[in-house]
Chain A
Amino acid sequence: MIALCRAMRQYIAEVRGTSRSRFTCIVDFSYQHYALGDALTTQVNAACLAQEHRCASIDLLLLLNPDRPAAPLQGFITAGNYPAHLDALFPAFLCLPQLGAIRLMREPTTAALAVSSLIASRSPSWPSALDHLRQQMKYPLDHEIINRTYRKYGRVPQLSAPRGYAEWAREFVASQWPEQFIVCINPRQSRLATIPTTTYRDSPLGEWHAFIDTVGERYPNVQFVMLGGFHEWDRALARRRNVSIPRAMGLTLAHELAILRAAHLFMGTSSGFATMATFTDIPYLITNVEPLFAAFAHIAVDAPRFPFAAKNQSLLWHAEDSKILLSHFETVYGMRHEVRAA
């Protein structure tokens, strides 16, 4: 009995002993999605809230119950294949500069103890304890927290290259494409995916090819880097000298996000890579933004940019064509060369 009382006292003391100076971001795959854009937005939300709570470090908890490895909407992710999906997405969780720990918990009781400890010690976390218990997350993730942070502090925390890849990207770009203007592109091709969805949002490849070829003729120092899963790039791109495809060389999402961070411009459909560009300072053009997303971003439809975006970071609310792509490219390219000349 005495031992039991002692154990209870120790339990209460320890669960309440979690530090409140560290912010915890919970990603529970039983109700959150395996999606690049959502993973990145989640981390930015965590960074914003950590700033409000004056927490210098963020710990990321990835909760995964092998019996229920995915949310109902992603029923194709099963106990047999979830490692591959998590493996593909994992580098996205390394993009927070303030990351102090990343913890994959596949044992439910460990997750229970970790979350109980957060609740008992009232340590700041996102989602909040209540939202986590309700296991509800509204998708698409909105920008309420992000916009609030921008209004309060005048800037939004930025994502960095995945841990360990920032220096790699700088050296890689300098050695493989010295003195080149790097443009990362991601024209959406969901029709080529294993499970095609909303294919009406796919990019018009003909327009992209025309744009790439025109730039190749006029600006020989421009290198396009095609980002995205191996299935996403059209075969015709591989023959173009001014296009590189990291996934075809064996590079991974980590390398791609790092190259994106080191690039001079991003152009592509509203997607996970567009989300990465959104929360950096690199110029971008995000095309074919869905009007229904305006409400989640708390902006008007046809707004030229997000409230926290810079002048050369633009949104396009309809499908792109080669003229629009070329115009935006030449604006950014011209600005960069004016700055360099100055």
Chain B
Amino acid sequence: MALLNSVLRLPRWILRVLELLVGRRIYVWAAVPPAKLFVGYAYRSRGWTGMPYRAVYFLVGSVLKFRERLRVDHLNFSARLRAPVSTQVLGNIALWQQAVYDAHPSRQQAHANLRILASPDEAQIDSLMSLLLMSDVFCNVNVFFDELAARNARISSLSVAEEGNAARDEFDLNAPHPLRANTFRSSVWRHIFSGHAAFERNVNSYLKVAHPGAFVIALALRQGRDGLSDQWIDPWEKPIERLAREFPKVAFVVLNAVGPRTFQRGLITPGGPLSFARFAGLTFAETICLAQKADAFIGQLDVFGIAARAAQCPGLYMGSLDEDLSDSANSIWHSEVLAPDSALAKFRDLMANKLSEAEDQTYPARSSAT
């Protein structure tokens, strides 16, 4: 069967090679049809049989990559990072990718080099990697915890032209990076947060199962140094209950992680207006996805806010900005940071029409057994 499939694919492969030769299709070297055929054979034949093919492939591949190192500039992009890796820092990673993409939109592939400074033992890079795995802006991702590692890896992480400029052009992920009017007009956002469909499935299932027919409002809270949001939940409880009494179909979903005390306090009552996405097993990357898929968003302009804003999610985005990025046509409002009851009062006023529409829609009412 596999042989038959290979034979049936042969005409298409021949066509691709002809298109490559006449210049009608452009490929990166690793994706050139003869290379893919060669790689395919090298990977399929395991053990000693495939070894000569893999050896040849490594040699040719390394020469091609080295050739790229000698000729290319603006392929590898560097950033520096120190602990703690807060949600603001994670938001800056999204902005870094946007800056890279907008500066070189025709670049087919880009690679990332991250230097961890100061106390490398304290930087938590797993969330950082989650964000980069959601994205298809960067192909390779190198994280260096010490200078010697970075220097040792330069042959495959920097081009010759970039070696001299890496430090000068390094993006500081801990520094504040202002948002501008054109920040969210870039076409790159669908590559940054939705580059891979891998994280959408569970979010889609969660929204369908946990909140059928509801108007889902993603709520991003502040996080402490421990990455948890317990101390910021209580002030939201009463305002949320008030809003839910007026609009029974609203469902607030907290995107952040919390500690065991909150979990065991039984904050969630079945069918209540407040729930926690992480309680349903959604990962950090999936909560980013949820921020984009929700019907509305309330929270600060950290990584969750930037993700929601990039998806043009209606709602209230809080944070100090140099310019007002509100887009009233799409029910998007920016304001300074507000206390929960003020934020929800403002959200209610701004979103009254949308909330009323949601109440009038003929979906089945949310079951109290949910």
State yes or no: do A and B come from one complex: yes
Chain A residues near B (Cβ < 8 Å)? 7, 10-11, 14-15, 17-19, 22, 30-31, 57, 59, 65, 67-68, 80-88, 90-91, 94, 99-117, 119, 133-136, 162-168, 171-172, 175-177, 230-231, 241, 244-245, 247-254
CA distance A279 to B65 in the complex (A): 38
| Pairwise interchain contact A57-B146, C-beta atoms closer than 8 A | yes
| Pairwise interchain contact B156-A114, C-beta atoms closer than 8 A | yes
For A57, the chain B residues whose CB sits under 8 A away are 146, 148-149
B248 close to chain A: CB less than 8 A: no
Q: How far is the CB of A260 from chain B (nearest CB, A)?
A: 15
B9 close to chain A: CB less than 8 A: no
Q: How far is the CB of A128 from chain B (nearest CB, A)?
A: 13
B271 close to chain A: CB less than 8 A: no
CA distance A267 to B56 in the complex (A): 48
- Interface contacts (Cβ under 8 Å), in number, total 228
CA distance A100 to B261 in the complex (A): 36
| Pairwise interchain contact B61-A108, C-beta atoms closer than 8 A | yes
Within 8 A of A (CB), among B247-302: 256-264, 276-279, 281-285, 287
**CB-CB under 8 A for A101 and B149, given A110-B111, A162-B126, A176-B260:** yes
**CB-CB under 8 A for A59 and B122, given A83-B133, A172-B226, A176-B260:** no
Chain B residues near A (Cβ < 8 Å)? 29-30, 36, 39, 43, 46-48, 50-51, 54-55, 57-68, 70, 83, 85, 109, 111, 120-126, 129-130, 133-134, 139-146, 148-150, 152-153, 155-157, 196-199, 226-228, 256-264, 276-279, 281-285, 287
**CB-CB under 8 A for A166 and B129, given A10-B70, A107-B111:** no
| Pairwise interchain contact A113-B281, C-beta atoms closer than 8 A | no
| Pairwise interchain contact B149-A109, C-beta atoms closer than 8 A | no
A-B contact pairs, 29 of them (CB 8 A): A11-B63, A18-B155, A22-B148, A22-B149, A22-B152, A59-B152, A67-B36, A68-B43, A81-B198, A90-B126, A94-B126, A100-B149, A101-B145, A101-B149, A110-B156, A113-B155, A116-B58, A134-B51, A135-B54, A163-B124, A164-B83, A167-B122, A172-B226, A176-B259, A230-B281, A244-B263, A248-B281, A250-B258, A253-B126
Q: Which residue of B lies closest to A258 (CB)?
A: B124
CA distance A31 to B61 in the complex (A): 19
Q: How far is the CB of B56 from chain A (nearest CB, A)?
A: 10
Q: Which residue of B lies closest to A108 (CB)?
A: B30
CA distance A101 to B116 in the complex (A): 10
For B65, the chain A residues whose CB sits under 8 A away are 107, 109-110, 112-113
| Pairwise interchain contact B124-A117, C-beta atoms closer than 8 A | no
Q: How far is the CB of B219 from chain A (nearest CB, A)?
A: 13
Shortest beta-carbon contacts, A-B, top 5 = A250-B278, A250-B257, A112-B61, A230-B281, A164-B124
For A90, the chain B residues whose CB sits under 8 A away are 126, 129-130, 133
For B55, the chain A residues whose CB sits under 8 A away are 133
Q: Which residue of B lies closest to A169 (CB)?
A: B226
Q: Which residue of B lies closest to A91 (CB)?
A: B126
Contact of A248 among B60, B125, B279 (CB under 8 A): B279
Known: A112-B57, A251-B257, A252-B284. 14 other contacts (CB 8 A): A59-B149, A83-B133, A99-B145, A101-B145, A114-B156, A135-B43, A135-B46, A171-B226, A172-B259, A231-B281, A244-B260, A249-B260, A249-B263, A249-B278
| Pairwise interchain contact A250-B199, C-beta atoms closer than 8 A | no
For A134, the chain B residues whose CB sits under 8 A away are 46-48, 50-51
| Pairwise interchain contact A110-B279, C-beta atoms closer than 8 A | no
| Pairwise interchain contact B62-A168, C-beta atoms closer than 8 A | no
For A65, the chain B residues whose CB sits under 8 A away are 39, 43
Q: How far is the CB of A130 from chain B (nearest CB, A)?
A: 8
**CB-CB under 8 A for A252 and B226, given A11-B66, A104-B140:** no
For B133, the chain A residues whose CB sits under 8 A away are 83-84, 86-87, 90
**CB-CB under 8 A for A110 and B152, given A14-B66, A83-B133, A165-B124:** no
Q: How far is the CB of A42 from chain B (nearest CB, A)?
A: 18
| Pairwise interchain contact A133-B257, C-beta atoms closer than 8 A | no
Contact of B47 among A102, A119, A136 (CB under 8 A): A136
Q: Which residue of B lies closest to A112 (CB)?
A: B61
**CB-CB under 8 A for A109 and B196, given A18-B152, A103-B140, A133-B55:** no
CA distance A88 to B199 in the complex (A): 11
For A15, the chain B residues whose CB sits under 8 A away are 62, 66, 155
CA distance A171 to B228 in the complex (A): 12
For A175, the chain B residues whose CB sits under 8 A away are 226
CA distance A83 to B152 in the complex (A): 27
For A86, the chain B residues whose CB sits under 8 A away are 133
CA distance A147 to B306 in the complex (A): 50
For B148, the chain A residues whose CB sits under 8 A away are 19, 22, 57, 100
| Pairwise interchain contact B144-A112, C-beta atoms closer than 8 A | no
For B64, the chain A residues whose CB sits under 8 A away are 109, 112
Q: How far is the CB of A274 from chain B (nearest CB, A)?
A: 21
CA distance A22 to B121 in the complex (A): 19
| Pairwise interchain contact B139-A59, C-beta atoms closer than 8 A | no
Contact of A59 among B46, B153, B263 (CB under 8 A): B153
CA distance A91 to B133 in the complex (A): 13
CA distance A18 to B68 in the complex (A): 19
| Pairwise interchain contact A136-B129, C-beta atoms closer than 8 A | no
Contact of A247 among B111, B197, B281, B285 (CB under 8 A): B281
| Pairwise interchain contact B29-A109, C-beta atoms closer than 8 A | yes
| Pairwise interchain contact B257-A106, C-beta atoms closer than 8 A | no
| Pairwise interchain contact A163-B121, C-beta atoms closer than 8 A | yes
| Pairwise interchain contact A87-B283, C-beta atoms closer than 8 A | yes
